[in-house]
């Protein structure tokens, strides 16, 4: 088979996978790169939002990171802040995307492990707190707030726990996706540096 025949055959196979073959160019040159970029920007911005308070107070997480076994805390707490905030920015713009996304993906897997092994608990309020709520709840809370705390906050904490686990799982997956595939067509890596890790 000649080179031209092989190319024509491969082109027909590629076109045949689409119900509307004339849309192939639109998908491959616009829709896919745009979607790839939009999700990368969302993942990076989410990390920036989560990392911003840590970046403002880089030593605030010393006790927390040490409780997870990361010593010394004075080193790992600022690293966490920089990784989330500056790393989130780098992912959003697509700069050194693979190594930064890998580091954040690992951090998010640790976060998922933490949420899974350290649940919020069964009740937000102690038995004394529930008694105080029954005695003074109408003064302290709105009617909707009072309903949420009537069981000690059990249902509310289950929802918070579930959201923490699912968010960590989703964003860890997003970071690891970009660690595997890089920043894509509309990234600093590809547009300016012309190289990727």
Q: Where are the alpha helices (DSSP H) in the chain?
A: 3-16, 24-26, 32-56, 62-67, 73-93, 97-117, 127-140, 143-149, 154-181, 188
Cβ distance 187 to 90 under 8 Å? Answer: no
Cβ distance 37 to 88 under 8 Å? Answer: no
Please, what sign has the CA dihedral across residues 126, 132, 136, 138? positive
pTM above 0.85, yes or no: no
pLDDT at 8: 62
Residues 184 and 197: their CA atoms lie apart, in Å, by 12
pLDDT at 102: 97
Q: First and final CA of the chain: distance in angstroms? A: 37
DSSP of 67-86: HTT-S-HHHHHHHHHHHHHH
| 83, two tokens | 């990784």
pLDDT beneath 70, residues of the chain: 1-16, 122-125
* pLDDT per residue as tens digits for the range 153-183: 777 788 888 999 999 999 999 999 999 999 9
| 145, two tokens | 């707030």
CA distances from residue 146 to 113, 125, 138, 151 in whole angstroms, order as listed: 32, 12, 7, 9
| 16, two tokens | 């045949």
């Amino acid at each position: 088979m000649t080179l031209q025949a092989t190319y024509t055959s491969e082109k027909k196979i590629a076109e045949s996978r689409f119900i509307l073959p004339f849309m192939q160019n639109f998908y491959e040159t616009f829709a896919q790169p745009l979607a790839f970029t939009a999700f990368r920007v969302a993942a990076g911005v989410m990390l920036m939002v989560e990392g911003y308070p840590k970046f403002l107070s880089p030593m605030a997480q010393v006790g927390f990171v040490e409780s997870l076994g990361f010593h010394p805390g004075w080193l790992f707490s600022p690293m966490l802040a920089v990784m989330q905030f500056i790393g989130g920015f780098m992912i959003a713009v697509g700069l050194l995307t693979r190594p930064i996304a890998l580091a954040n993906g690992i951090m998010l897997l640790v976060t998922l492990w933490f949420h899974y092994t350290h649940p919020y608990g069964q009740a937000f309020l102690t038995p004394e707190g529930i008694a105080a709520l029954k005695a003074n709840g109408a003064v302290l809370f709105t009617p909707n707030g009072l309903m949420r705390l009537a069981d000690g906050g059990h249902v509310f904490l289950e929802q918070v726990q579930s959201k923490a686990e699912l968010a960590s799982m989703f964003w860890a997956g997003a970071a690891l996706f970009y660690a595997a595939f890089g920043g894509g067509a509309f990234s600093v890596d590809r547009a300016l540096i012309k190289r990727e890790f």
